[in-house]
Chains A and B, each alone.
Chain A
Amino acid sequence: MRYILKKLLTLIVALLLISIVVFLAFSVLPADASIAKLGQNATPERIAALRAEMGLDQPVLVQYFRWISGAVRGDFGTSYQYTGTRVVDLVGGRIGTSAVLSLISLVMVVVISIPVGIFAAKRRSAPGRAAMTTVIHITMGVPSFFLGLLITYLFSLVLRWFTIGKYSSPAEDLAASISYLVFPAIAISLPKIAMTVKFLVSSIRSELHKDYVRTAYAKGCSRNRVFYGHVLKNSLVPVITFMGIIIAEIVAGSIVVEKVFSVPGIGMLLVTAITNRDYPVVEAVVLLIAVVVIVINFLVDVIYQIIDPRVRL
């Protein structure tokens, strides 16, 4: 219980910290949001009027509280670029796509890397291990956007299994949406699968040398019983924590890969908004991703402490 409370406290502090950083970064630091909105040629009078209207002439603390109470209710103001469109609508329209994309990628990572990791960990011969290390390192090093291009070339241009840009959102047609998103998900998850396999293999190897494995053999356990009954479960525990990192990486990977496959998700929105200095949108997206990542990490910690009795102090 104490552990969860401590993690909860960390979660709250983290959220607070992030919100302050995001607020400072986008609402205070950029030379002036009003200039960004009106453009460089605005007259001083108009700027002053707008500043008053936007509340920019008030103390930073007041501004922060107004901003955060709005943010909690989902009010991030309106976009500079798409004048009059509420930020929350812009983000809300794309969140489903990104969520589905991340989810497919995560499922791929989990479903593929665990059996592959077990297979790889059981390789004993020197050439087998060397081959495995090389494959893992190369896969880890492929930038996901480059992988995306290769996939596009092969599956879209050569094999014509899907057409770039012909995407339907999950709300319209879930099946069609998934069958399109599978391809960017491969690009996102492949390097992550390699990372997870590497982690799992070294976790299994280090467990195999522990004393309790010797005990299990001394009891008369068969090789399979030792591996699946004792070693595997214990090696998977640290993988849970690792998944927290992987999820964050998947979210990050989707920002870049969405552009390759022209998937209209959060990542695309963010990149366009940054290019156009559309601060309210950037702010909202960054905050959203940050909160999701932090909350997921918290959940991972909680799951970890449920599974590993040693943490339960």
Chain B
Amino acid sequence: MKKVRNYSLIIGCVITGVMLLLALTALFWTPYSTTGMSLSLKFAAPSWAHPFGCDNYGRDILSRVMQGIGTTFLVAASTVIFGMIVGSVIGFFAGYIGGWFDEIVMRINDVLNAFPSILLALVFVSFLGSGLMNIILALGILFIPSFARIARSEMLRLKGLQFVQSAKLQKAGTCRIIFAHIMPNAYINILASAAVGFNNAVIAEAGLSFLGLGVQPPNASLGRMIDEAGSFLMQAPWYAVFPGVTIIILVLGVALISDGISRIE
């Protein structure tokens, strides 16, 4: 047995854990009020009192970033879970049953997949309207095809193996074969792509919010903060930098986890 430390997984988990902790803390406590404005603190530079500085209304940026992480986690996690569950089930069945059902599902998938995800999100938002729930719904639907594709290819890889034929001979039903026999062998790869999906969701949400079409106030959002900061680059570069760097670290953490998961086998 070789025992090589999976550093990617460890570092990734630590980063993501710290981020999650910050977001959870923000639910009960932030260093300052996230809405409290103060003219005297307008564009205050980073200091011990305000480590990330203050924005154009004199609000504490650290507090708002903490809250923004929470929103990002909420959006990304719920979209990925939604997309993963629906997509996996569709993909498993399409791959297992094959034939015309598979053909139809996969053609629709091809079309949706060819699309830049943010464009589809924009389409959804343009008639659903913006706001937290709509963003989750739009991005969640967006992720269905990619998970369906992975689940299907896992299914195709596994269903040709003899243990599936063996399960058929043992009179196991279709659902039992899919969920009890095949799924335990597929979840690692699906989980690894869930991490990739999570990052796509983070960036897509930030992008939408940056365009003003995503999460709306009073919900804090890292993307929206960067959008607002764009107008004050000269006066307060830190206003843009801290939310931006937070997104990068968040994404890096999850990417490392994904890397680590794919190295488990």
Contacts and interface: CB of A to CB of B under 8 A. Distances in A.
B49 interface: no
A290 B112 CA distance: 10
Given A10-B107, A133-B259, A143-B244, A274 B115 contact: no
Contacts of B259: 133, 137
Interface stretch (B86-94, B153-161, B181-189, B203-211): B203-211
A14 B211 contact: no
B126 A255 contact: no
Contacts, number: 131
B213 A286 contact: no
B17 interface: no
B137 to A, nearest CB: 14
Contacts of B122: 255, 270-271, 274, 286
A42 interface: no
A17 B106 CA distance: 13
Nearest to A275: B212
A256 interface: yes
Main secondary structure on chain A at its contact with chain B? helix
B102 to A, nearest CB: 14
Interface string B184-199: 0000000000000001
B252 A248 contact: no
Query: Do most interface residues of chain B lie in helix, strand or loop, or is the interface mixed?
Result: helix
Interface in B34-67: none
Contacts of B234: 157
Nearest to A268: B211
Given A10-B110, A256-B207, A152 B233 contact: yes
Interface in A130-159: 130, 133, 137-138, 140-143, 145-146, 149-150, 152-153, 157
Interface in A237-253: 244, 248-249, 251-253
Contact of A248 (B114, B213, B226): B114
Interface string B218-246: 00000100110110011001001100100
A223 B208 CA distance: 48
B139 to A, nearest CB: 13
A192 B213 CA distance: 24
A251 B110 CA distance: 18
Interface string A259-292: 1100000000011001101010010001001100
Given A14-B107, A256-B207, A271-B211, A157 B233 contact: yes
B134 to A, nearest CB: 13
A177 to B, nearest CB: 23
Given A137-B252, A149-B244, A248 B116 contact: yes
B115 A146 contact: no
B10 interface: no
A192 to B, nearest CB: 12
Contacts of A293: 114-116
Nearest to B247: A143
Contact of B116 (A25, A138, A143, A289): A289
Given A137-B256, A153-B233, A14 B114 contact: yes
A143 B229 contact: no
B78 interface: no
Nearest to A260: B230
A18 interface: yes
A140 B111 CA distance: 25
Nearest to A153: B233
Given A146-B244, A259-B210, 9 more contacts: A14-B107, A25-B126, A146-B206, A150-B240, A153-B233, A157-B234, A244-B114, A251-B116, A286-B123
22 contacts: A14-B110, A17-B107, A25-B126, A141-B248, A142-B247, A143-B206, A145-B227, A146-B226, A149-B240, A150-B244, A153-B240, A253-B116, A255-B122, A256-B207, A256-B210, A271-B211, A271-B213, A274-B122, A277-B126, A289-B119, A290-B115, A293-B114
Interface of B: 7-8, 107-108, 110-111, 114-119, 122-123, 125-127, 199, 203, 206-207, 210-213, 223, 226-227, 229-230, 233-234, 237, 240-241, 244, 247-248, 250-252, 255-256, 259
Interface of A: 10, 13-14, 17-18, 22, 25-26, 29-30, 130, 133, 137-138, 140-143, 145-146, 149-150, 152-153, 157, 244, 248-249, 251-253, 255-256, 259-260, 270-271, 274-275, 277, 279, 282, 286, 289-290, 293-294, 297
